[in-house]
Structure 1
Amino acid sequence: MPSTSTRTGTRRPRTATLRVALATGAVLAVTVGCSAQVVTDPAGAADDKPGGGTGTGVRIEPTEPASSSPSAEPAAASKPPATPSAKPTKSASEKPAPPKPKTVLASGAEGDQVRELQARLRQIAHFNRAPTGYYGSVTATAVSSFQAKRGLPRTGTTDTVTWQKLLGMTKKPTAAELRPPAAVKPAPKPDPRCMTGRVLCISKNSRSLSWMIDGKVLSTMDVRFGSQYTPTREGTFKVGWKSRDHVSTLYDTPMPYAMFFSGGQAVHYSADFAARGYSGASHGCVNVRDKKKIAALFDAVRTGDKVVVYK
C-alpha cells in the first residue's frame, strides 16, 4: 500500500525509495570497503550476470590492492640516494714522467755528425785522437766517460740528453778540428815503380796509400797492415778482382770495397781501423779507414791496375 511522507506532505512510492537506498549502499561499499573502481553504465543496464541486475546504472568492479601488484615501485622517499662512484684523482704534487731520451748516435754510425761528436768530445779531453767519422768502441768509451762525469746513465750511446749537454759545454768545431792536418800525412817520395801507369802505391813506412796515374798523385789516404803473424806481402802485383760488399769467408767479417791483389789480401775499408786506429791490425790486408775515399777509389780502379807495396 502506498504511504505518504509526513514531512513533506508528498507521496513517494516505496519502490523508488528502495532503489535509492540500494544505490546509496553500493556507493558506501565502494568508499568504506576494500579498494574498488566505480564504472558508470550510461545505459543503466543490468549486471551481465545471469538472473538480471539491480538496474541502478552503476556497476561495481573490484580491483586488486595497489600493494599486491608485482610491478608496484616503493615510494621515492624510501630509496637511498644514489652516490656517484669516487674517481681517483692525481695529487697536485705528482708530475708526469719525463719522456725517455731518444738515440741520436750509436755504435756503428758514421758520417759528419759522428765526426762533430768526436771533435766536441776532444775539446773537453774525452776523445784523445783525430776525429774519424766512425762510431766505434773508442767513441763509445769516450761518450760513456762524458756521461759518467755529468751524472748521466753510462750507456755509451749518444742520446738527446747527452747530445744537448755536450752542445752546451762545447763550441762548434772548426774545419781544422774536424779534420786536423796532422791526421793527413804527406805522401812520401813514391817508389820508382809507381811512376808509370795506373798504380796503387802503398808505403809501409808512411802508412799511406797514393792513387797515381803516370806519376801524378790523385788521392792519398791512411792505411794499416797485417800483424807480424799475418804480414802484408811486399812487391808488385795487379788488381785481380773487385768486390764492393765483400765478407771474409775465413773470419766472417765485412770487407767493403775490396780490391784483391795477392791471393786473399786486398785493399778494403775497415770499420775496426776507423774505430780503433793503429791499436789494431789486419790479417794481411791493407785497411783504409776513410770510407768516402775508399769508395771513390773503388770506382776509379780497374781490374789489372798495378799495386806496389814497399817499405
Structure 2
Amino acid sequence: MGLTGARLAALSAGLLGLLAAALLAGLALGSAGFDRELIVQLRAPRVGAAAGVGALLALSGLAMQVLLRNPLADPYVLGTSGGASVGALLTLMMGGSLWLGAGLGALAAGVALLALTRSALAAGEDASPRLVLTGAMLASLCGAIATLLLAITPDQRLRGAIFWLIGDLSGAQGGAACGAAALLFVIGLSWRDTAIDRLLLGSEVAALLGEPVRRLRLALLVSASLAAGMAVASAGAIGFVGLVVPQALRLLGVQRTRDLAWMSAVGGAALLTLADLVARTVVAPLELPVGAVMSLVGAPLFIAVLMRGPR
C-alpha cells in the first residue's frame, strides 16, 4: 500500500531537508575549519561531485531493480560498477577517455548480465537467487580482471589506482555533469512511470497492457549502465548506494515510480554526501575511502534484505 498524500509530503520535506543539511555540513565541516577560499575551491566541487554521483548510483540501482524485478539489484553488487572500473582502467592504460571507457565497460557488464539471466527473468520471482548469484559472479570476474590490470600498473600510479577503485572523492571531477545526467534520468523515469510500474508486474502483463517491453527494458539497461559508468568515472567504484536508497524508500511505503525516481536521486545525493563527510572527518587529517564507508552500511543491509527475501 502506498503512502497517503500527507505522509508522502512529510517524507518529501524530510528528504529535501536531509539533503540541504548534508550539503551545508559538507561545505562547512572539515579539518581546516570554515575558510571561504577552501570552501569555494576544494569543498564545493567535492560536495557537488558526491551529490551528483550519489544521485546517479541510486537511480541506477532503482532502474536495475525494475529491469530485473529484484530488490537486491545494484550496480556494485551485480557487476556493472566492476565493468565500469575495468573499462576505465583499460582506457587509462591506453591513454583514452576515462568517461568513455567507464561507460562502455558498464554497458558491456549490463548486457552480459541480461544475457546470462534471460531465462531466469522469464521464470519470474522464483529466479531471484539465480539473478543475484549470476551478478555476484560477474562482479567477481570484473574484480579479478581489475586486479590483473593493477598488477601491471606502474608503481607510481598504483596507490592512486587502488584508492580510486574502492571509491575516492578527494579528486572527483564532473559533479555538474553527474547532476545534469541525474536530472535527465529522473525526467525519463517520470515520463515513463506508468509503463515502468506495469513492467514490475511482469513482462507478459506489461505486454498485454500495450507496453513496448523490449524497448523499455533496453532503455532501462542503457540508462542504468551509463549512469553507473559516469559515477565510476567521477569517483571510482562506490557500492551499495543503489541498494540502500530505493530499498529504504520502499520500506517507508513509497511505491510509484514517479515518486521513487526523484526521491531516490535526493536520497542518494544526501547519503553519499554524508558518507564522504564521515570519510574525511572521522580520522582527520587522514581520509578514509568513501567506498569502504558505504560498504560498512550497505553490506549488513544487503544481508538483511537477502535473509528476508523468501518472505
**TM-score w.r.t. structure 1 length?**
0.25
Higher RCO (C-alpha 8 Å, min separation 6): 2
Which structure has greater helix proportion?
Answer: 2
* Structure with more strand by fraction: 1
Q: Could you state the TM-score of these two structures normalised by the residue count of structure 2?
A: 0.25
Q: Which has the larger Rg?
A: 1
